[in-house]
Amino acid sequence: MVLTVLLLVLLAGLAGSSPPPEPVVCARGMADCTVSNAFGSFLDRTICRAANATFPRTEKELVAAVAAAAAAKRKVKVATKHSHSFPKLACPGGRDGTIISTERLNRVASVDVAKGLMTVESGMVLRDLIQAAAAKGLALPHSPYWSGLTIGGLLATGAHGSSLKGKGGAVHEYVVGMRIVTPAPASQGFAVVRELCADHPDLDAAKVSLGVLGVVSQVTLALQPMFKRSVTFVTRDDSDMAEKAARWGDLHEFGDMAWLPQLHKVIYREDDRVTIKTVGDGLNDHLGFRSNPTAPLISSRVTMELLEKNINAVARCKAANATVSLFETAAYGFTNNGSLFTGYPVVGFQHKIQASGACIGSQEDALLTSCAWDPRIQGTFFYTNAYSIALSKVPAFVADMQELRDRCPLSFCGIDTSGGMLIRYVKASSAYLGKPEDSIDFDIAYYRSYTKGEPNPHYEVLDELQQMALRKYNAIPHWGKNRNFAFEGAMAKHPKAGKFLEVKRRYDPDGIFSSEWSDQVLGINGSPAIFEKRCAIEGLCICSDDSHCAPEEGYYCLPGKVYTDARVCSFQPAF
């Protein structure tokens, strides 16, 4: 079993890793550029074009770059060092847009240890930020689990870890200041730096901005004295999951859950702050975020493609079972002392537990090893759907999901394969594009074909699940994940959307930071859904006609099984 081979190699652990490819590539010096993401492809499989790119090293150079674009009224977007968002947020609008990369804006500007404040440049990668804070005895209390993101990029999409305690699990709750460069009239030199302090009302717009207000230059974070956590993963039956989900976030500060639907199990993360004197120097080096040797990556992808195309789903589920067992045995990559797992709880310092991202380590090894999704390898290629549902509605949603699972259990194996549906807690936010209510974020990653429009017998239930969440339970999509159709009507789910748009008009009246995509998502112009042949297979649309599926291959647009208002591409075998 190739998957098993891959995992065994993963368990062995590897030191080197080719860093991910550059998202911004220019053909002639700094001109004639393309922009992509870490996966080499945005949702609609486009690679974006930009007339040129700049890589400012200082705020002064950043102001000059914005001024040049504003003076010429040229479209502009910010790109980051690795660019990990799935939607094409980083594509500049128009035909001759420009890119401002934050790759070289990656330093610590200042630290005030006594006040627990750290100011960093916006292109700083989370991994470096966490280390720099730890070196001063400080900790960012919550963060995404993957450390290859930049602070500017992760804030722009409202990224989060999991918590209902204190200010909650989203990083933007810890932002107490920002410096943002916006266009300005000619009399002010075409660009200005706006300093937003903790009590500035516009901070609620700038904290989660989708990159449409201007370029964030610096971010000031309110950190905490370094602390330790104690982590235990417990796998239990999923029969009382609906009720547990509503309460788990109150029981554990860093609690989350991973649902393994086909196995009828839930992996509960019991994760709490402990006193700094507690013995332990644990490390989270998550298996999925380590670097992988190329050969097994490619062969496991080949196996997966065969399994996905096979209408007999049992083999696919067997592989899922094997993967789940291996991850459990390997404690998901956690160790008690940085090299060996000897049992739960794993106790360790916050900066070694909160996030991981070994595969972005910078040693170049000519692609012998890389992140699993490195597009140069053609290994893992996946969709990720993530959306938040208000806590009060969660038990009903979970019950509906379980009913759908009971109708078609084998179709859920793809979720088990990727470690389960991750269930995380996010608190209500004052950020205009943050969560309006205390919520649970449901997150799945699953197989995506390299072939555009290739149907999959298991997408039917996954599409029903997402439509049910978004339409029946009014779920809010994660701005940096999902597929096109999920963003339809997203702004209407944010009561303070109007306030956000007011700030946008004030900061960028000519809309140079806007693109076709951001205008569609913000409801300013057009719709993020794309209607064309097989669009529903790609998640570009919700089908309303068989041609949006693949009738030639037996896939027709039909109602969902549990949420009958859903319209999904259903496989109807000819007999």
Ligand X SMILES: *[C@@H]1O[C@H](CO)[C@@H](O)[C@H](O)[C@H]1NC(C)=O
CA distances from 292 to 36, 287, 374, 380, 450 (A): 22, 9, 10, 11, 20
Find the binding residues for ligand FAD in span 461-480 (CB under 6 A). 480
Q: Which residue is nearest to ligand FAD (CB)?
A: 153
Does position 146 interact with ligand FAD (CB under 6 A)? The reply is yes
Does position 89 interact with ligand FAD (CB under 6 A)? The reply is yes
- Nearer to ligand FAD by Cβ, of 92 and 261: the residue is 92
With CB under 5 to 8 Å by kind, the binding choice for 96 among ligand FAD, ligand X, none is ligand X
- What's the 3-state SS for 198-212? CCCCCHHHHCCCCCC
Q: Does an H or E element contain 8, and which? A: helix 2-12
Binding mask 480-519 for ligand FAD (x = CB under 6 A): xx--------------------------------------
Are 436 and 496 within 8 A, CB to CB?
A: yes
Side-chain-side CA neighbours of 240 within 13 Å: the count stands at 7
Q: What is the dihedral of CA 416, 421, 422, 425, to 10 degrees?
A: -160
With CB under 5 to 8 Å by kind, the binding choice for 83 among ligand X, ligand FAD, none is ligand FAD
- Nearer to ligand X by Cβ, of 311 and 340: the residue is 340
For the CB of residue 203, give the shortest distance to ligand FAD in the complex, in Å. 14
Report strand pairing: 334-335 vs 283-284.
Answer: antiparallel
- Nearer to ligand FAD by Cβ, of 74 and 405: the residue is 74
Place of tokens 């793809």: 414
With CB under 5 to 8 Å by kind, the binding choice for 258 among ligand FAD, ligand X, none is none
With CB under 5 to 8 Å by kind, the binding choice for 338 among ligand X, ligand FAD, none is ligand X
With CB under 5 to 8 Å by kind, the binding choice for 52 among ligand FAD, ligand X, none is ligand X
Report strand pairing: 31-35 vs 117-121.
Answer: unpaired
Binding mask 89-128 for ligand X (x = CB under 6 A): -------x-x------------------------------
For the CB of residue 276, give the shortest distance to ligand FAD in the complex, in Å. 25
- Candidates 33, 215, 287, 470: give the one binding ligand FAD (CB under 6 A): 215
- Nearer to ligand X by Cβ, of 97 and 168: the residue is 97
Does position 52 interact with ligand X (CB under 6 A)? The reply is yes
- Candidates 18, 36, 101, 122: give the one binding ligand FAD (CB under 6 A): 122
Find the binding residues for ligand X in span 546-565 (CB under 6 A). none
With CB under 5 to 8 Å by kind, the binding choice for 182 among ligand X, ligand FAD, none is none
With CB under 5 to 8 Å by kind, the binding choice for 9 among ligand FAD, ligand X, none is none
CA–CA distance, 146 with 129 (Å, rounded to integer)? 13
CA–CA distance, 348 with 287 (Å, rounded to integer)? 18
In DSSP notation, 122-166 reads TT-BHHHHHHHHHHTTEE-S---SBTTSBHHHHHHTT-B----ST
Number of residues in contact with ligand X under rule CB under 6 A: 14
Binding mask 156-185 for ligand FAD (x = CB under 6 A): xx-xx-------------------------
With CB under 5 to 8 Å by kind, the binding choice for 215 among ligand X, ligand FAD, none is ligand FAD
Look at phi and psi of residue 436 and say left if phi exceeds 0, alpha if psi is from -120 to 50, else beta.
Answer: alpha
Q: What's the token pair of residue 411?
A: 């179709």
Spatial CA neighbour of 42 closest among 74, 92, 89, 98? 89
Binding mask 310-339 for ligand X (x = CB under 6 A): ----x--xx--x---------------xxx
Does position 239 interact with ligand X (CB under 6 A)? The reply is no
- Candidates 36, 98, 101, 102: give the one binding ligand FAD (CB under 6 A): 102
Does position 421 interact with ligand X (CB under 6 A)? The reply is no
Q: Does an H or E element contain 109, and which? A: strand 108-112
CA–CA distance, 215 with 192 (Å, rounded to integer)? 11
**Edge-first strand listing for the sheet containing 421-426:** 346-349, 228-237, 265-274, 256-260, 421-426, 439-447, 382-390, 476-477
- Nearer to ligand X by Cβ, of 205 and 461: the residue is 461
Supply the DSSP symbol for 291. -
Report strand pairing: 98-101 vs 76-79.
Answer: parallel
CA–CA distance, 483 with 540 (Å, rounded to integer)? 6
Spatial CA neighbour of 148 closest among 254, 33, 23? 23
- Nearer to ligand X by Cβ, of 14 and 501: the residue is 14
- Nearer to ligand FAD by Cβ, of 78 and 317: the residue is 78
3-state DSSP call for residue 558? strand
Does position 83 interact with ligand FAD (CB under 6 A)? The reply is yes
Q: Is omega for the bond preceding 345 within 30 degrees of 0, making it cis? A: yes
Does position 211 interact with ligand FAD (CB under 6 A)? The reply is yes
Residue burial 523-539, b: 16+ Cβ < 10 Å; e: rest: beeeebbeeeebbbbbb
With CB under 5 to 8 Å by kind, the binding choice for 263 among ligand FAD, ligand X, none is ligand X
Q: What's the token pair of residue 507?
A: 């900061």
- Candidates 90, 258, 267, 377: give the one binding ligand FAD (CB under 6 A): 90
- Candidates 24, 56, 63, 77: give the one binding ligand FAD (CB under 6 A): 77
Binding mask 260-279 for ligand X (x = CB under 6 A): ---x----------------
- Candidates 53, 67, 76, 210: give the one binding ligand FAD (CB under 6 A): 210
192 - beta bridge partners? 182
Q: What's the token pair of residue 270?
A: 């019991």
For the CB of residue 156, give the shortest distance to ligand FAD in the complex, in Å. 3
- Candidates 40, 56, 152, 414: give the one binding ligand FAD (CB under 6 A): 152
Are 289 and 359 within 8 A, CB to CB?
A: yes
Residues that bind ligand X (CB under 6 A): 31, 51-52, 96, 98, 263, 314, 317-318, 321, 337-340
The residues binding ligand FAD (CB under 6 A) are 77-80, 82-85, 89-90, 102, 122, 144-146, 149-150, 152-154, 156-157, 159-160, 210-211, 215-216, 480-481
